[in-house]
Amino acid sequence: MTDLTRLLSDIRTGSRPPASGAGLTVPADSSEAQDILLKVSRSLGPVVAWKVGSSSPEAAPSAAPIHKNTVFQDGETVPATLCRYLGVESEVAFRFGRDLPDKGTPYTRSEVLDAVSSLHPAIEILDTRFEKPGSLHPLLHAADQQNHGALIAGPAFGDWESFDFTRIRVSQAIGQHDILERTLSHPAGDPLRLLVWLAGHAIRSGFPITAGTIVTTGSLTGTIWARHGVLVRTSIEGCGAVSATLA
C-alpha cells in the first residue's frame, strides 16, 4: 500500500486529490487501513490528541492520532485553509493528566481512569484528502486519518466521574441556527472502555498517551455539514460548552 501512503502524504503537502477512486487499491481490511494511517501520521508532527470511537456498545473500537496543528481551544478560529469540507460533530473528550508509557503489561481499567484528569465538550470537524467526503470505499477513508479535519476542545469539567454517559443532553448550533437539541446515550455505550482500549493501542502504534493528551470519543450527533465563515457551538449539560469560528 505504499502508493496510497504516498498519495495521502502528497495531498497534505499540496497535491490535488484524485478525481475518483480509479487506480487506488483499497486496503484489504481495517488493519491494513490502520497501518497506512499510522505511516502517514509519523510525518505529520507531534501527536497531542486521539480520536477513538465505536459504533455500538458491542463494536470494536477504531482510532486515529491527531496532531498539534489541527487542535484548537474554545473560541479559537479554524483557518479556512485547514479544511476543504466542514463536517461538524458534537463529542465528549477526556484529557489525561499523566503519561501512560509502555510498561510491558496491559494497563488495567483503574490504572487508565486514574490517569484521566478532566472531561471536555468537544467539536470535531470532519474533512477528507479525497475529492469528496464518503465518495470512496470506507477503508480508503479510514486510512485517511478517519476523516479527521480539526478538533476544538472546550473547558475542563473536573468531576468527570459523576457524569452520566447514558443521558447526555446536547445542543448544537451552526451560525444563527439551533440545529438540534436532544438527550441520548453515548454511542459506544461506555466511553471509558474506549480509553482503556486506546491506552494499549496507542503504545502499539508508537504514540503512547502522554500528560495533556486529549481523547475525543466519537460523534454524539452525527455529521452536519457547514459552510466556511460561521460560528459553531456545542453545549453539553453538566459538562459545558465549546465554540469555534470556521473561517
Q: Please state, in angstroms and rounded to a whole number, the distance separating the CA atoms of residues 156 and 159.
A: 9
Whether the predicted model's global pTM rises above the 0.85 cut: yes
Q: Please state, in angstroms and rounded to a whole number, the distance separating the CA atoms of residues 156 and 118.
A: 6
Q: Which of 78, 14, 79, 6 is nearest to 43 (CA)?
A: 6
- What are the distances in angstroms from CA 238 to CA 52, 119, 161, 164, 241? 22, 10, 12, 9, 9
| β-pair type (214-216, 71-73) | unpaired
The whole-number average pLDDT for the span 241-245 is: 98
Other Cβ atoms within 10 Å of 113 Cβ, number: 16
> In CATH terms, is domain 2-246 a member of 3.90.850.10?
yes
Domain map (residue ranges) of the chain = 2-246
Poorest-confidence range of 61-65, 133-137, 230-234?
Answer: 133-137
Q: Please state, in angstroms and rounded to a whole number, the distance separating the CA atoms of residues 169 and 87.
A: 21
Tens digits of residue pLDDT in 209-230: 999 999 999 999 999 999 999 9
Tens digits of residue pLDDT in 168-196: 999 999 998 888 999 999 999 999 999 99
